[in-house]
Chain A
Amino acid sequence: MATNEKVDVVVVGAGASGSVYAAVLAKQGKKVVVLEQGPDWQLSDLTSSDIWGRRVKPAGGPFILEGKHPVSYGYQAGWGVGGAALHYFANFPRLLPNDFKIKSEHDRAHDWPISYQDVSPYYDKVASDVGVSGDAKAEEIWRPAGEPYPMPPMKTFRNGQVWIKGFEAVGIRMVPAAVGMNSTEYKGRPACIYDGWCHVGCPIGALANPLVTYLGDARKSGAEVRPWSTVTRVLTNPEGTRVTGVEYYVKKGERQVQPASVVVLAAWAAQNPRILFNSATDKHPKGLANSSGLVGKYMMTHFASGTLAIFDEDVENHMGTTGAQYMSYDRYGKTSHKEGFGSSFIVAGFALKTNDLGGIANARLDLFGADLHDFMKRAKRGLTRIGTFGEELPTIENRIELVSDKDEFGMPLAKIIHSYDKDAQAVWNANFEEGLRIAKTTGAKDVWSARGNMPTIHLMGGTIMGTEAGNSVVNSYGQTHEIPNLYVAGPGNFPTSGASNPTYTIFALSLRGAEQLAATWSTIAG
């Protein structure tokens, strides 16, 4: 076993949230080490291919997936430096004020311990830091005013434009989607060229992945990133009152210890609870920060209702971005659908490729053989789709638990148990029905719903934030209630999921937490 020189901060995970902490603290002059279990990806590794793009996703992972609606771990998770934000679509919608007060306003789920107004300045800061394109003024029909985005909206293409007539027909207002992409050159990074390969990683840096934003900043400020370093435990002092560092294994299997004044767990919503559980001691027999028993609880995902259409015209579906061109919060009210409770968030206009989960061939999963080939020929230029994300409310039965099987480092695997409730299924169905109503007014030749198994998109919960240890794992900054120098970052801290893509909020909450940690460093680090 090797023990490394003590540092100020060890960040576990080099994805969206960890990179923010690393950047903020390294810029403050703190000695920062970032441990990442996978490879040290470079932009030049991001080959434009759905087949080759699978390299940046986990192979198997340490999770057993159970429940009626198992979590789509392999597609959602990241593996390697950049994390899931290396292959995310960079849709940057916000949560809205109603997301923070569901308990107060509807007596459902949880209130957040903070309001939209607490997070809003950080949305604006992140937009400036990483570059966001969109029309902030147009969004003010749904949210309080903030700063304008630093870049104008992205270009739109026929695959998005053809839907506008349908949305108007049912009274849904669409505005330019806010995206973490460059519509113009920004901070030395080039403008997007709209070739639709965002989902396998953008190698030109037009999309705001961690390599070209916060992690790049962190490295420039002296943070050290150690790839192939798998953290298995957070270590504590004998009294169990403070963390002292982490145990991790390098690729060849050697055990190492990284002492640190502060530990930030930023290994995603699934892995953070697993590490906390595996860090149990006699002082913390249920795992660190888990006296309430809430670590690993309230796992949430989003579901999406996709509607597809084939038009006679060439809708340029090979062009654009994987993220959306248009978005709408017009169904974001928690009671928008009488059939079920929860918000819905609508997006339209995506580039399509031929293969992989979201490819043209999977638009009709029932087809094979000659029928599939005929469909591919019809769809190759005329197919386009819209999607509506839905909110899953937190339920304590959706959880992560350790199991007896172990990984190559002797760390127990975990299972993620996840099932949607009746509200989610009702909203999912209502969004399909509305999608078809929209599609039928567009003049498309064929329209259909992309029904199949109910999808599980994004992953949130497991270390939810709240006002005290009795109702949550961390406070609004990500600091654990029980151990002051242990932080948790990322979507695991969301006490409710909203219905919009989470990464912009992950960046914003991480920036808020990191700045608080920096501002109160001497108190927290000791």
Chain B
Amino acid sequence: MNSIERRDFLKATATGVLAFTTVGAQALLSARQAYAQNVPFRLLKASDAETIEALGETLVPGARAAGMAHFLDQQLSLPPEEALLEARILNVRPPYVRFYRNAIAAVDNASRALNSGRNFAQLGPSEQHNFVDAMRQNKVQGWQGPGGSFVYLVLRSDAVDVVYGTMEGYEALGIPYMPHIAPDKRW
């Protein structure tokens, strides 16, 4: 651990912000901040992140700017027992990154087959909406990979987490958060 002390790291981990590596050092940022600062991904390829952000934005407006890809990248790089993903309670078997890679591949392979070689992120908004609607109902032609409706459930849950599940998200909706023990103000 370079730029932060371990005790600070643990305290931060317990309260909410996440550790991201930026310019060779670790910093404690929210996923939204990591996205805004264009922090390099640890585990995801750029094309994976592009697909995740496009899916997230289609599922829940605001997911891209809320740092959905950075949230997933950070969580997928942790040991499974430390990960905070809803995949954990949806019975996805670790390592979770395997599920996400298979899901992204399923989405982009199907998208290319159906849309003249274009990945999901390259589709227009209405095309993306229609694709997700078909995926939700297991109706994407030629789909190969984890079940489409399950991919929808997991990715939608991630998008809901980063947009509506944070203290910022509650505030934006106008719902009192009322914590016993507050996570970090952003999480």
Q: Show the binding face of A for B, using Cβ within 8 Å.
A: 38, 44-52, 54-55, 57-61, 65, 70, 72-75, 79, 193, 195-197, 202-204, 318-319, 353-357, 359-362, 365-366, 368-370, 372-373, 376-377, 380-381
| A202-B181 Cα distance, complex, nearest whole Å | 9
Is B164 a contact partner of A355 (Cβ separation < 8 A)? yes
Interface residues in B166-187 (C-beta closer than 8 Å to A):
166, 169-170, 173-183, 187
Given contact pairs A54-B85, A369-B129, enumerate 7 new A-B contacts (beta carbons under 8 Å). Answer: A48-B181, A49-B165, A50-B165, A51-B187, A58-B88, A60-B88, A373-B61
Q: Which residues of A contact B60 (CB under 8 A)?
A: 368-369, 372-373
Is B183 a contact partner of A376 (Cβ separation < 8 A)? no
| A297-B160 Cα distance, complex, nearest whole Å | 38
Looking at the complex, which one of A45, A48, A355 makes contact with B14 (CB distance below 8 Å)? A45
Looking at the complex, which one of B59, B81, B89, B179 makes contact with A49 (CB distance below 8 Å)? B179
Q: Which residues of B contact A74 (CB under 8 A)?
A: 88-91
Is B181 a contact partner of A46 (Cβ separation < 8 A)? yes
Is A47 a contact partner of B183 (Cβ separation < 8 A)? yes
Q: Which residues of A contact B79 (CB under 8 A)?
A: 59
With A46-B180, A51-B84, A354-B169 already in contact, the answer to whether A368 and B156 are too (CB < 8 A) is: yes
Looking at the complex, which one of B59, B133, B153, B181 makes contact with A47 (CB distance below 8 Å)? B181
Q: Which 3 A-B residue pairs are closest in the complex by CB-CB distance? A: A355-B165, A48-B179, A59-B80
Q: Is B93 an interface residue (CB 8 A)?
A: yes
| A360-B92 Cα distance, complex, nearest whole Å | 22
| A369-B160 Cα distance, complex, nearest whole Å | 10
Is A75 a contact partner of B89 (Cβ separation < 8 A)? yes
Looking at the complex, which one of B94, B174, B175 makes contact with A60 (CB distance below 8 Å)? B94
Q: Which residues of A contact B178 (CB under 8 A)?
A: 48, 195-197, 318-319
Greatest chain A CB density within 10 A among B81, B152, B169 is at B81
Is B165 a contact partner of A59 (Cβ separation < 8 A)? no
Is A354 a contact partner of B160 (Cβ separation < 8 A)? yes
Q: Is B82 an interface residue (CB 8 A)?
A: yes
Q: Give min CB distance, B51 to chain A, whole Å.
A: 16
Q: Give min CB distance, B172 to chain A, whole Å.
A: 10
| A369-B156 Cα distance, complex, nearest whole Å | 10
| A115-B61 Cα distance, complex, nearest whole Å | 55
Interface size class of B (residues with CB under 8 A): 35 or more
Looking at the complex, which one of B61, B169, B180, B187 makes contact with A195 (CB distance below 8 Å)? B180
Q: Show the binding face of B for A, using Cβ within 8 Å.
A: 14-16, 58-61, 79-86, 88-94, 129, 132-133, 136, 152-153, 156-157, 160-161, 164-166, 169-170, 173-183, 187
With both beta carbons as reference points, the residue of chain A lying nearest to B176 in the complex is identified as A318
Q: Which residues of B contact A360 (CB under 8 A)?
A: 164
| A368-B152 Cα distance, complex, nearest whole Å | 10
With both beta carbons as reference points, the residue of chain B lying nearest to A194 in the complex is identified as B178
| A193-B165 Cα distance, complex, nearest whole Å | 21
Is A59 a contact partner of B94 (Cβ separation < 8 A)? yes
Looking at the complex, which one of B91, B166, B183 makes contact with A72 (CB distance below 8 Å)? B91
Is B170 a contact partner of A52 (Cβ separation < 8 A)? no
| A49-B167 Cα distance, complex, nearest whole Å | 9
Looking at the complex, which one of A204, A368, A373 makes contact with B58 (CB distance below 8 Å)? A368
With A50-B165, A59-B80, A74-B91 already in contact, the answer to whether A369 and B136 are too (CB < 8 A) is: no
With A49-B179, A354-B164 already in contact, the answer to whether A369 and B91 are too (CB < 8 A) is: no
With A70-B91, A202-B180 already in contact, the answer to whether A49 and B164 are too (CB < 8 A) is: no
Q: Which residues of B contact A203 (CB under 8 A)?
A: 180-181
With A356-B165, A373-B61 already in contact, the answer to whether A57 and B88 are too (CB < 8 A) is: yes
Is A54 a contact partner of B16 (Cβ separation < 8 A)? no
Is B88 a contact partner of A369 (Cβ separation < 8 A)? no
Q: Which residues of A contact B92 (CB under 8 A)?
A: 60
| A376-B160 Cα distance, complex, nearest whole Å | 11
Q: Which residues of B contact A45 (CB under 8 A)?
A: 14
Q: Give min CB distance, B177 to chain A, whole Å.
A: 8
Is B91 a contact partner of A73 (Cβ separation < 8 A)? yes
Q: Which residues of A contact B58 (CB under 8 A)?
A: 368-369
| A46-B177 Cα distance, complex, nearest whole Å | 15
10 A-B contacts (beta carbon < 8 Å): A48-B183, A54-B89, A58-B88, A59-B94, A74-B88, A74-B90, A203-B180, A368-B133, A369-B132, A370-B61
With both beta carbons as reference points, the residue of chain B lying nearest to A71 in the complex is identified as B91
| A49-B79 Cα distance, complex, nearest whole Å | 20
Q: Give min CB distance, A418 to chain B, whole Å.
A: 12
Looking at the complex, which one of A49, A57, A368 makes contact with B183 (CB distance below 8 Å)? A49
With A47-B16, A368-B132, A368-B156 already in contact, the answer to whether A357 and B89 are too (CB < 8 A) is: yes
| A363-B166 Cα distance, complex, nearest whole Å | 18
Q: Which residues of B contact A355 (CB under 8 A)?
A: 86, 157, 160-161, 164-165
Q: Which residues of B contact A44 (CB under 8 A)?
A: 181
Is A359 a contact partner of B160 (Cβ separation < 8 A)? yes
Greatest chain B CB density within 10 A among A54, A355, A361, A376 is at A355
Q: Which residues of B contact A368 (CB under 8 A)?
A: 58-60, 132-133, 136, 152, 156
Is A195 a contact partner of B179 (Cβ separation < 8 A)? yes
Q: Which residues of A contact B83 (CB under 8 A)?
A: 54, 59
| A354-B175 Cα distance, complex, nearest whole Å | 9
| A44-B60 Cα distance, complex, nearest whole Å | 32
Q: Give min CB distance, B28 to chain A, whole Å.
A: 15
Q: Give min CB distance, A479 to chain B, whole Å.
A: 33
Q: Which residues of A contact B182 (CB under 8 A)?
A: 47-48
Q: Which residues of A contact B136 (CB under 8 A)?
A: 366, 368
Q: Which residues of B contact A47 (CB under 8 A)?
A: 14-16, 179, 181-183
Greatest chain A CB density within 10 A among B79, B132, B175, B187 is at B175
With A196-B178, A369-B60 already in contact, the answer to whether A376 and B165 are too (CB < 8 A) is: no
Q: Give min CB distance, A319 to chain B, whole Å.
A: 8
With A47-B183, A197-B180 already in contact, the answer to whether A377 and B82 are too (CB < 8 A) is: no
With both beta carbons as reference points, the residue of chain A lying nearest to B60 in the complex is identified as A372
Q: Which residues of A contact B86 (CB under 8 A)?
A: 54, 355-357
Q: Which residues of A contact B181 (CB under 8 A)?
A: 44, 46-48, 203
| A50-B164 Cα distance, complex, nearest whole Å | 11
Is A318 a contact partner of B93 (Cβ separation < 8 A)? no
With both beta carbons as reference points, the residue of chain A lying nearest to B159 in the complex is identified as A368
Q: Give min CB distance, A227 to chain B, whole Å.
A: 12
